[in-house]
Amino acid sequence: MEGQDMLWLYIAAAGAGALLGLLRQRVLAVLAGSVVLMAITILFAAPGHLSLLETVVNLFLLLATIQFSYLAALLLSSATRVASRDRFDTSTRRRM
């Protein structure tokens, strides 16, 4: 697999994980995305004649990318939700 193809796979994995996190999807959706990502990586690695070690390392890095971006986006969406819930009305000094 060429370097540019791998870069696009990493970008797609990070984007998919972030989208799943921002949409507050469940872990099952991330697992399904991980299975699809594994299949795509194996399909792209076969014609590129990558060694087994290179394929396994890229696969683990891609799975880590999708899972970490999911967690980061999920934490970000939770933090903005809590921040919007803790607003005060300045005229009455009450929570909105």
pLDDT higher at 61 or 77: 61
- Return the structure tokens found at 66: 């999708």
Q: Model pTM greater than 0.85? A: no
Residue at token pair 């795509």: 40
Q: How many CB atoms lie within 10 A of CB 54?
A: 14
pLDDT digits (tens, 9 = 90+) for 24-66: 888 888 899 999 999 988 887 777 677 888 888 999 999 999 9
* Cα radius of gyration rounded to whole Å, the chain: 19
- Band (pLDDT 50/70/90 cuts) for residue 68 is very high
Q: What percent of the chain has pLDDT over 70?
A: 78
Contacts of 24 (CB under 8 A, 6+ apart): 74, 77
CA distance 58 to 10: 9
In terms of C-beta density within 10 A (0-12 exposed, 13-18 middle, 19 or more buried), how is residue 90 classed? Answer: exposed
Longest CA span, the chain: 68
Per-residue model confidence (pLDDT) at position 85: 57
pLDDT value at 88 more than 70: no
